[in-house]
Amino acid sequence: MKYVSLLAVLFLLSGCVSTATLRGTGDLGVVVERATGSVQIVETSGHSILGEITGLGNLAHATVVFSRDQRYAYVFGRDGGLTKVDLLTRRIVKRTIQAGDSIGGAISSDGRIIAVANYTPGGVKFFSSDTLEPLAEIPAISADGSRSKVVGLVDASNDVFVFALFEAGEIWLADMHDPHHPKVTKYTNVGKQPYDSLLTPNGRWYLSGMFGEDGMALLDLWHPENGVKRILGTYGREDAKMPVYKMPHLEGWGFYDHYAFVPAVGRPEVLVIDMNTWTVVKHIPTRGQPVFVVGQPASRRIWVNFAFPDNQYLQVIDAPEQQVIKTLEPGKGVMFLEFTPRGENVWVSARDSDKLVVYDTETFEPVAELPSVRPSGIFFTPRANHIGW
């Protein structure tokens, strides 16, 4: 009898221990520490750091996507490294150096395929999300035989990826239903030096900004047979060329109603684009040159950070009024901002202050400050549920 009772106690204790160590992944995230080749694993419910994973190589301009179940993070490093990280065990599952210089990646809508955009050699490589085994490669070689850097890689619906060729001025669409045999549709002469792109939340419009000339390129993914359309002929650097201290990112997802809020290139302003007519309807003056222009979930607010020398600031735009309503100063070198899924908090990386600052988005008051070594990108697991992220 005593033996049975002892077993029962041990069973109950073991059950308590295992239950205490269980957790979901829906409120987890990854913070890139670019100077140390490390990532921090954070949780947003309690504003805390759970751990750190080292050995991820060169994380300058590193980006992250997540598996469908939100357990695994795929980290794309600037050294061409592709690393699969288990967020629950906080360890590296597998790491491969797949190219010489990588600029980011994406995951297919069904979660099977990881795509990596490469500068060197220019092109896109595809891998199994389970094993990181290579599946296919699309070299970014234009009609004249020259090779281009790949930029603006996004995942669209139905296992389609879209990306741009910087030097060639082209946009390519890759159908990956057969992951070993991509079907590529090429759109040429779309503009000079596309530098980044965005996908609208409904998955319809792929919009690519031009660095080498004014204007943008627009591809309707619901009707790709119609080709690429040039729009916003006066958008961009315009006649008076300004020094660009940091390339802006169109992947900011700053949308409200039928308006897109995008950073101007080299100019201290956010442009408001009417997506019904694809025309600029307003220039919103800002503190500096915008880098990210990000919409707060379930809100009328758009948040903006800036390039040097104004990168200690954040500004908040009221979207219906189309004007700045708040200026914040989280710390030196604000690199990135990421909202919790319902938008009650925003996490901000202040690289040169070695910290993360968490704000209450209703009051604009800081609710937490966490140490981080040269933090840059912040990525939360709910991104797994959105295309184009």
Above 60 in pLDDT, residue 19? no
- Stretch 9-31: mean pLDDT, rounded? 67
Nearest Cα neighbor of 277 from 229, 224, 209 is 229
Mapping DSSP to helix (H, G, I), strand (E, B) and coil, where does residue 153 land?
strand
pTM: 0.92
For residue 376 the two structure tokens come to 């840059």
Strand arrangement of the beta sheet that strand 301-306 belongs to: 290-295, 301-306, 314-318, 323-328
Q: Angle at the Cα of 104 (from 116 to 297), degrees rounded to 5? A: 120
CA distance 286 to 269: 5
CA distance 266 to 212: 12
| Cβ pair 247, 195 in contact under 8 A | yes
State pLDDT tens for residues 243-286: 676 778 877 779 999 999 999 888 999 999 999 999 999 999 99
For each of the domains in the chain, give its residue range(s) and CATH number, in order of start.
243-329 (2.40.10.480)
Predicted confidence band of residue 21 (pLDDT cuts 50, 70, 90): confident
CB neighbour burial string for 133-149, b if at least 16 within 10 angstroms, e if fewer: eebbebebebeeeebbb
Question: With contact defined as beta carbons under 8 Å apart, do 208 and 190 qualify?
Answer: yes
What was the pLDDT predicted at 128?
A: 98
Percent of the chain whose predicted confidence (pLDDT) is above 70: 92
**pLDDT tens track for 287-328:** 999 999 999 999 999 999 999 999 999 999 999 999 999 999
The closest alpha carbon to 57, from 3, 111, 101, belongs to 101
